[in-house]
Amino acid sequence: MKKNILYKNESDASANSNKHLRIIYTISEEARDHEQEQISSGNQWDGERGRIDKAMLTKYLGDEDMKNSIFYTCGPPSMLKAMQKLLQDDLQIPKERIKIEEFTGY
């Protein structure tokens, strides 16, 4: 699964060269039977699973980070709408600190 993340190598290189950038790879799909095969090939998923929610964000961000971070979100329109609601309504993140890139075609 890791090899299927678009621009993962480039993203990792950016994070490694910028101490202010942290990437938490997250997939929404549940584990599937074929993942057992991937474990033996060394390609099992060890990142986060599920929808990004308040609990997941607070797990990785302390109060200070939450107050000062810029949030970059990209994905299908429904995910972006949910993220915008979570960030603005639930976490009180100002709109100016939320950056959105929409993947069309979903």
Digits of tens for pLDDT over the chain (106 positions)?
667 788 889 999 999 999 988 888 888 776 565 555 555 556 677 788 888 999 999 999 988 888 899 999 888 888 899 999 999 999 999 999 999 988 776 5
Same domain, yes or no: 58 and 101: yes
pTM for the model stands at: 0.71
The answer on 94 and 66 residing in a single domain is yes
My answer on whether 68 and 93 are in the same domain is yes
Sequence-distant (≥ 6) Cβ neighbours of residue 76 within 8 angstroms:
102, 103, 106
Question: What is the domain range of residue 46?
Answer: 1-50
Give pairs for 40-48: CB < 8 Å, separation 24+: 43/1, 43/2, 43/3, 44/1, 45/1, 45/2, 47/2, 48/24
Instruction: State the total domains in the chain.
Output: 2
